[in-house]
Chains A and B, each alone.
Chain A
Amino acid sequence: MDKQLIQQCGDELYQALTKKETLRPFTERFDDISIEDAYHISLRMVERRVQAGAKIIGKKIGVTSKAVQNMLNVHQPDFGYLTDDMAFSQGSEMPISDRLIQPKAEGEIAFILKKDLIGPGITNADVLAATECVMPCFEIVDSRIENWQIKIQDTVADNASCGLFVLGDTAISPSQVDLSTCGMVVEKNGQIISTGAGAAALGSPVNCVTWLANTLGEFGIPLKAGEVILSGSLVPLEPVQAGDFMTVSIGGIGSASVRFT
């Protein structure tokens, strides 16, 4: 795709985001759209958000479970950018009716970095050494593509289907918890709807952050000290609507909860 078309697609996505509209899948409109094209589109969409005053505070990793990888027929994750206007506090009300189109909740582990990570050549040891703490997190994903009819290029272009997120109020050193076996329990409106464990994301959430550091390294982009990295869902996606209340708890890490309005 040429630069002009990439810019146009990024602008369309930004408009869809701000006006809460959906778009036809790019993969239906452009036969030859590559994953690299899609990342350039997402960069344009994020650029528009930054121009409008948003600040980049971290990154999210998506497509980390085998089930979603099989659904999208890919064998690697994807990533998007987190901005400050996406972040909500523990227990707060999240206005999904105002902000999102077709939201779904994912329980995740967030990494907060204390050192830059610059790939390639980053190992899990580097990630653990660079991690200040891990926190419980809900990511509320959303798609600007109609009815979530996404192929991998569509979700990549759409900032990895990023919506909003909530961090819990516990922060645990990665040396205090086994991130591969730590269990996750998700409750919606007081009912347990799913359980999972750390290994659901590429075998370990640490693997996900390592993948991201090395992948971004190829483009010369570092993960920076202070950034929040959402490492990927450990449970199936759950559609949510205004009035729902959800809690995620993670063994050895803590819990996060959110009310949707």
Chain B
Amino acid sequence: MGNLTKAQIEQLAEHCEKAELEAYEITKITDDFPDMTYEDAFDIQWEIRRRKEARGTKIVGMKMGLTSWAKMAQMGVEHPCYGFLADYFSIPDGGQIKHDELIHPKIEAELAFVTKAPLKGPGIHIGDVLRATDFVMPAVEVIDSRYKDFKFDLKSVIADNSSSSRFVAGGTMAKPEDLDLKNLGVVMEVNGEVVQLGAGAAVLGHPASSVAMLANMLGERGEEIPAGTFIMIGAITAAVQVNKGDSFCVRYQDLGTVSGKFV
């Protein structure tokens, strides 16, 4: 159940999206709307999505957020969330990310699943996800909460499209049956120094369980994951703050590398 009016949803969507587009900080919206519910928060996110699509922006995928124990501990939240990926979020592998277009970006090592069959919750499990997966590939997400100092609660972050801002997909693709997704290792280097390490199990015990959770969360709104969707599963490592001039390279077991530079 929602507690906000349609007008309030639209107002908050504009408020959050403007902060994203113009790269400035806002305070968490639950401070002003303490009664807002999770449904309200997702309504705001879907309204931001509608606004972008109305302007001709294409939605190119979905992302899960706060899916690792490291991230949940870092942010003080207890549940994962999802967001959408817009066309202008995409940066080519080895490409440049303009730091000035963002507020206080951090990078996270992730994996992306690309589906070949629809997934519609409730009741989706890891087996369904693996069967519906065309291939898996490495991806690095650039998160950039619009909230001051990354201080937020789960409802506020959902309304802010789960801090989505940019992503770099690349490396090598592989069929899920050819990978040991749970034990798949990831090494993140910034400016040539190893800064974070982890393995697939850091994401909800198994990377595919993140996609299953997305399908089940979308199912609650009557939505599904269509075939051909690009889905980032959430961070395997803790998020690392990056500055202008920093370059990164994330090495993946059996899947090559993804790199980029902040300019």
Seen from chain A, the residues whose Cβ lies within 8 Å of a Cβ on chain B are 66, 178, 180-185, 192, 195-200, 203, 234, 249-252
Give Cα A181–Cα B184 distance, bound, in whole angstroms: 8
Interface string of B60-102 (1 = CB under 8 A from A): 0000000001000000000000000000000000000000000
Given the interface contacts A181-B252, A182-B185, A183-B186, does A252 sit within 8 Å of B180 by beta carbon?
yes
* Closest Cβ neighbor of B187 among chain A residues: A199
Tell whether, in the assembled complex, residue B183 and residue A192 are in contact, meaning their CB atoms are under 8 Å apart: no
Contact B201 A192 (CB under 8 A): yes
- How far, in angstroms, from A200 to B180 measured CA to CA in the complex? 20
A-B contact pairs, 5 of them (CB 8 A): A178-B253, A183-B184, A192-B69, A192-B205, A198-B187
Question: Looking at A185, A198, A200, which has the most chain B CB atoms within 10 Å of its CB?
Answer: A185
Question: Is B254 engaged at the interface, CB distance under 8 Å to the other chain?
Answer: yes
Please name all residues of chain A whose beta carbon is closer than 8 Å to the beta carbon of B184 when the two chains form the complex. 183, 251
Q: Which chain A residues border B198 with CB–CB below 8 Å?
A: 183, 195-197
Bound together, the chains give a CA A203 to CA B195 distance in angstroms of: 11
Interface contact A196-B251, CB-CB below 8 Å: no
Given contacts A183-B253, A185-B201, contact A250 B183 (CB under 8 A): yes
- Taken residue by residue from 182 to 212, chain B's Cβ proximity to chain A (1 for < 8 Å, 0 otherwise) reads as 1111110000001001111110010000000
Which residues from chain A contact B69 at a C-beta distance below 8 Å?
Answer: 192
Among B199, B202, B251, B254, chain A packs the most CB atoms within 10 A around the CB of B199
Option from A178, A180, A195, A203 in Cβ contact (under 8 Å) with B199: A195
Interface of A is mostly: mixed
CA distance A196 to B84 in the complex (A): 28
Q: Which residues of B contact A195 (CB under 8 A)?
A: 197-202, 236
Q: Measured between C-beta atoms, what is the minimum distance from B151 to chain A in Å? A: 26
| Contact assessment for A196 and B254 in the assembled complex, using a CB-CB cutoff below 8 Å | no
Residue among A183, A196, A203 having the largest count of chain B Cβ atoms under 10 Å:
A183
Which residues of the other chain, B, contact A196 by a CB distance below 8 angstroms? 185, 197-199
Additional pairs, 5, CB under 8 Å, beyond known A182-B183, A195-B200, A251-B180: A181-B186, A181-B253, A197-B185, A251-B183, A252-B180
Q: Across the interface, which residues of A come within 8 angstroms of B187, CB to CB?
A: 180-181, 197-199
Contact in complex: B199, A184 (CB < 8 Å): yes
Of the residues B182, B236, B251, B252, contact of A249 by C-beta under 8 Å: B182
| B186 touches which of A66, A192, A197, A252 (Cβ 8 Å) | A197
Q: Are A183 and B205 closer than 8 Å at their CB atoms? A: no
Q: Which residues of A contact B201 (CB under 8 A)?
A: 183, 185, 192, 195
In-complex Cβ contact of A197 among B180, B182, B253 (8 A): B253
3 closest A-B pairs by beta carbon, nearest first, are A183-B185, A183-B199, A197-B185
A250's nearest neighbour on chain B, judged by CB, is B183
- B22 CB, nearest partner CB in chain A, Å: 37
Bits for B244-263, please: 1 = Cβ < 8 Å to A, else 0. 00000001111000000000
How far in angstroms is the closest Cβ of chain A from B196?
9
In the complex the two chains form, is A178's CB within 8 Å of B254's CB?
yes
Chain A residue nearest to B205 (CB atoms) is A192
